[in-house]
A and B are shown apart, each in its own frame.
Chain A
């Protein structure tokens, strides 16, 4: 095993897949000479040259559309949108086009496209640079949605996403890039749609995504003397590994979902719907979602800290459910 940062893990995944398949190319803002504002594509220009690394003007609709069209033509674009917030300027290309082309064409077209972007708050970047949009993408049939929490998962899932023949929205988190973790020395791929049990327990199932996985594990540690918490990271929300989560809920009888996205209308509510459908009788307490407060992200550090879930607030939610 090697200890690497999340950003390094992503970088390796991209380089390996570009090495493996000449149809894979990169497109996005500021991705070539400076290697992306978060450094994910660092060194790609030097290694693969301008034919495969395309730095664009600030024209998200045009270059995302280009990527969708190039995927229709058989290439495998890896398209970077600097912040998920900016994806709102190319939602037609993503939601109306990429998600639907295969279906509308009666299966004649494929769109092997990865849209990489990063989301999340915690950096005082305010309301237009801190959002979490996974539920929007997951709501629209035809898009796969990955949101890795660790370097290990980031690398394995990104490789799978690039090899997938469907459009994959790959959601990184700006505060995970510098986090470190172990990854294997040899090549590996993590199939989309397999949850990972990050910590075993038998009294409460805690499903967390992206950066909230780290907070959830910390909270689980804090309450370890009182409650035995099982922490599950679905890793992709489309496809969603309901079997793993349901098996856990059948064991624990309690479910808490922690998401950084807003409390209301998020994917957490959807997980509850599926669990209620599948294993209502196993539930010993009402399942709950703990997300961000339903407000645009405030700039002020005092407000931002209050709005986001944190290990303390998660620990309180755990205690309330078992109380």
Chain B
């Protein structure tokens, strides 16, 4: 699929922003630990950038995204503000959820981000809602729902696919199969190779894509988003990918180093960069400049987060009721 130069650059920039965000987040977490502060669970999206970026490139601000516990990448790709996200990681009052949510609960409805989720599979039925609302009101908004292959073992995911297909809701289910759910390999969770056939059994299209190839994800998502926007109903996409970090900051790595190295060899960022250079869409110098810019932005965001205030203790009841 052809991709225009500006879109390609923007996508590379977002991929780098996500990667650098995760590195900074890890750094902030370690800074916290050194001070004896523990900032909850932090699930890195490093390695999976192509999925969020390839899908969200087709979304408009008014389209909805339901994310998971590993949601920083989805939030950034959907256009959430990285300064506010960084502040949220530290529980600051300037955070994207006012310090009430933390890493797993980033919300920014203004850009369509309807939130991360601490419950595995929790977003899959919620995603039906904004899709339903679009159908109900007769507009062409679509909803994308990101979740891991671990979540695909939940019953509620299957109920949701059935309802989405039955009512032809404009939702795109994006399963990021990174081969591991915490310490459980996918082979101990499913007796089959692929997820796509499950969608077909519910009467909706299921597609499998190389989740480390941003252009492949982009092309697959284009089809799914077009279908949803034009009233053609839901799609399930299974993106095969890999996370570069342990499950979260507090669980030690238990995967084989050889597996990790093999997948690092398929890192979606260098892969996309070599494509861009090969096709003459960007030069090495432009890429280096972009990286410098992104790095400066992230450093500024980290400073903003560090310097922001914690919420005053007695504000704990704020936001309970509408």
List the interface of chain A (C-beta within 8 A of B).
29-30, 33-34, 37, 55, 57-62, 85-86, 88-89, 123-129, 293, 295-296, 298-303, 305-307
Contacts and interface: CB of A to CB of B under 8 A. Distances in A.
B112 interface: no
A85 B119 CA distance: 8
5 contacts: A58-B154, A298-B99, A302-B313, A303-B311, A303-B315
A128 B102 contact: no
A60 B188 CA distance: 15
A84 B155 CA distance: 18
B316 A295 contact: yes
Contact of A57 (B39, B95, B100, B190): B190
Contacts of B88: 299
B118 A302 contact: no
B78 interface: no
Given A57-B188, A126-B101, A295 B119 contact: no
Contact of A59 (B117, B154, B251): B154
Contacts of B313: 302-303, 305-306
Contacts of B166: none
Interface string B305-322: 000001111111100100
A127 B156 contact: no
A57 B153 CA distance: 6
A58 B181 contact: yes
A55 B183 CA distance: 10
Interface string B78-99: 0000000000100111010101
Given A124-B91, A305-B313, A299 B99 contact: yes
Contacts of A59: 153-155
Contacts of B56: none
A62 B181 CA distance: 17
A300 B188 contact: no
A8 to B, nearest CB: 19
B279 interface: no
B314 A306 contact: yes
A61 B118 CA distance: 17
B179 interface: no
A299 B188 contact: no
Main secondary structure of the interface of A (DSSP, over half): loop
B150 interface: yes
A301 B100 contact: no
Contact of A124 (B38, B92, B150, B190): B38
B41 A58 contact: no
Given A34-B183, A58-B150, A300 B100 contact: yes
B216 interface: no
B104 interface: yes
A57 B314 CA distance: 41
A201 to B, nearest CB: 31
A299 B102 contact: yes
A129 B181 contact: no
B269 to A, nearest CB: 29
Contacts of A58: 120-121, 150-151, 153-154, 181, 184, 189
A33 B105 CA distance: 29
B254 A33 contact: yes
B40 interface: yes
Nearest to A302: B310
A70 B107 CA distance: 41
A181 B186 CA distance: 39
Interface of B: 37-41, 88, 91-93, 95, 97, 99-102, 104-105, 117-122, 150-151, 153-156, 181-184, 188-190, 251, 254, 310-317, 320
Contact of A55 (B184, B190, B314): B184
Contact of B188 (A55, A85, A301): A55
Contact of B156 (A57, A89, A296, A303): A89
A57 B150 contact: yes
Contacts of A88: 119
A123 B40 contact: yes
Contacts of A89: 119, 121, 154, 156
Contacts of A300: 91-93, 95, 99-100, 102, 310-311
Contact of B118 (A30, A128, A301, A303): A128
Residue in A58, A123, A301, A305 whose Cβ sees the most chain B Cβ within 10 Å: A58
A251 to B, nearest CB: 37
Contacts of B41: 125, 129
A265 to B, nearest CB: 15
Contacts of A307: 316
A263 to B, nearest CB: 12
Contact of A126 (B92, B104, B122, B184): B104
Contact of A61 (B102, B155, B251, B320): B155
Given A59-B153, A302-B91, A126 B105 contact: yes
B136 to A, nearest CB: 27
Contacts of A125: 40-41, 102, 118
Given A299-B91, A302-B312, A307-B316, A123 B153 contact: no
A37 B40 CA distance: 14
Contacts of B97: 299
Contacts of B38: 123-124
Contacts of A302: 91, 99, 310-313
B67 to A, nearest CB: 13
B184 A301 contact: no
Contacts of A60: 154
Contact of B317 (A61, A293, A299): A293
A306 to B, nearest CB: 4
The 6 A-B pairs at the shortest CB distance, nearest first, are namely A128-B118, A299-B102, A300-B91, A57-B153, A300-B99, A306-B313
Residue in A37, A89, A300, A303 whose Cβ sees the most chain B Cβ within 10 Å: A300
